Homo-oligomer: A and B are copies of this chain.
């Protein structure tokens, strides 16, 4: 299996990697071309560019200067915050970007060109599958304080979605509580899934002294559904619970969340009578954790207490400077 992945890496970096660099950097250095592309037709804050391309601030500044000198972009003050600057394409910059666009198309066409129609269809299908799964493998799950912006983002999106999908909407205050305190160790915890630093999903545990641990706040961003992330989050939560020696977890959910209900069933949860009076719930589930299996299956193992697990970091920001 590893062998096939390695062969793939080799073939693809040679064929795609080298070629796409060559295509893009025809009349300007690759770094500039990438930057020009990333700025996009709408323009982009410099700080965003720095984080998205992961560039040194000095280096980026110089790149911007050279594009500016070539008359491809203008860099100007951004709206409210006087420190932030925005890069925007000029007409010439837009034209250059169109050229890059054409080249990307050409590169793609040069790959499809020699193939028969049937081969093309198969290639495109397989590419979509590989891409999907590569993206899935890039999602990272880590523990996160519920007050962290990433967690906040997910929870807000979660409540918004419940409000949209439940008959008669959703009001957090009427639901059984799971506030920041209750989702912070030692009372509980939140896991956040991030993709390229952006939060794309969450799940939480709420521990009880004399009752099974509750699973709360399971949410996956619509942008990444179908990647198996829900299952992964659930497994990660179970692993965290199992690592604490917790034998049983349970949860309740609403019938409107049919994909969640399906997930719980297929993940080995069995429906049980209502164990609480959550007004928004129609189904109550429970699962007995197999300590061994949970830790084996965990792709995000419980870190040892000493080693801090990687926290979702700030998505933008230069290094601290004088």
Listed in ascending order, the chain A residues whose CB lies under 8 Å from chain B are 1-9, 11-13, 15-17, 20, 104-105, 107-116, 119-120, 122-124, 126-131, 133-140, 228, 231-232, 299
Q: Known contacts A115-B133, A126-B129; decide if A108 and B138 are in contact (CB<8 Å).
A: no
* B120 and A1 within 8 A (CB): yes
A122 to chain B, nearest CB (A): 6
User: A5-B111, A5-B124 provided; 16 other pairs, C-beta below 8 A?
Assistant: A1-B108, A1-B124, A7-B127, A9-B104, A11-B131, A13-B17, A13-B20, A17-B17, A111-B137, A114-B136, A114-B232, A116-B232, A122-B133, A126-B129, A126-B133, A130-B130
* B134 and A113 within 8 A (CB): no
Q: Known contacts A5-B127, A120-B1, A137-B115; decide if A12 and B11 are in contact (CB<8 Å).
A: no
**Chain copies in complex:** 2
Q: Known contacts A108-B5, A127-B8, A130-B127; decide if A119 and B136 are in contact (CB<8 Å).
A: yes
**Whole-angstrom CA separation of A9 from B292 in the bound complex:** 40
* A124 and B4 within 8 A (CB): yes
Q: Which residues does chain B contribute within 8 Å of A2, judged by CB atoms?
A: 105, 108-109, 112
